[in-house]
Amino acid sequence: MTRLMLVCVLTPLMAAAQETTAPATTETTAEAVRLEAKRENFGAVVAPAALPDGATAVSGWVGVPEVGAAYRQGTGGWEVGARARFDYLRLAVTAEGVARRQVWTSGAWAVAPELGLGVTGNTGSRYFDEQNLEGWFLRVNPAVVASWKVAETVTAVGLVEVPYELGLSPAGTWRVKPMAGGGAEIYLGEDLSLSAVGELGVDVFKELRGVTQTRLGYGVRLGLGVRLF
């Protein structure tokens, strides 16, 4: 009789304990899956080619000829975000919204086209650049981003971008700067990543009532980013 009473008392208690611990176990498993997915597609500055849904990252960079900061958010199969740039050689500021979408992936490879749209304000300072263009410009920046995970903590990145600036005030001036290059992004731990990228191309522009001119275009950036989610 005593044994029967113990069974009757302990059985409901054991069932309640299982019900209490089950959600915690499920939650722990979900968190482990999320962390593993983050580790597999790490990156915040340039990589990955496009952030997965629900991922958020912020980054900043220094380089030549500019410094800048960016915000990235993965949502609904797209990556959306914003960037701010300061060209300290020409004293020009750019703000733009950005959208990416991954269109191809194969193993460690991924490719995503990107489109940036914004505005640039240029003081026209000619301390460094005697052919600098002064005024406000509409900026359209189509690009393609490719990433290749070469090691557990290293991703190679490739970039092709064609930023085009159309003069708004004064009208009649424009600049287009097709560039291509690449680099790498390294996972440092604690959701931090370090990126180094270099680009070369041409800088084609037209001054007000001037002729079209072409010269070397270049860019070097060293960035640090953090994945928030």
- If asked whether residues 107 and 202 sit together in one domain, one would say yes
- If asked whether residues 50 and 145 sit together in one domain, one would say yes
* Structural domain span for residue 14: 1-40
pLDDT in tens, 69-95: 999 999 999 999 999 999 999 999 999
Strand runs labelled E in the chain: 56-64, 66-75, 78-87, 92-100, 104-106, 109-122, 135-151, 154-161, 164-169, 171-176, 179-189, 192-206, 212-227
Give the model's pLDDT for residue 212: 93
- If asked whether residues 111 and 24 sit together in one domain, one would say no
Number of folded domains that form the chain = 2
- If asked whether residues 62 and 29 sit together in one domain, one would say no
- If asked whether residues 171 and 194 sit together in one domain, one would say yes
- If asked whether residues 120 and 34 sit together in one domain, one would say no
Q: Within 13 Å of residue 118, how many CA atoms lie on the same side as its CB?
A: 19
- If asked whether residues 108 and 180 sit together in one domain, one would say yes
180: its two tokens? 């291509």
- If asked whether residues 28 and 53 sit together in one domain, one would say no
- If asked whether residues 218 and 200 sit together in one domain, one would say yes
- If asked whether residues 3 and 103 sit together in one domain, one would say no
Kindly give the confidence (pLDDT) of every residue in the chain, 229 residues in length, as a single tens digit, with 9 standing for 90 and above.
Answer: 444 443 444 454 445 444 444 455 555 665 554 555 566 678 999 999 999 999 999 999 999 999 999 999 999 999 999 999 999 999 999 999 999 999 999 989 999 999 999 999 999 999 999 999 999 999 999 999 999 999 999 999 999 999 999 999 888 899 999 999 999 999 999 999 999 999 999 999 998 888 899 999 999 999 999 999 8
- If asked whether residues 21 and 101 sit together in one domain, one would say no
Q: Are the C-beta atoms of 84 and 94 separated by less than 8 Å?
A: yes
**CATH number of 124's domain:** 2.40.128
- If asked whether residues 85 and 54 sit together in one domain, one would say yes
Please state whether 172 falls in left (phi above 0), alpha (psi between -120 and 50) or beta.
left
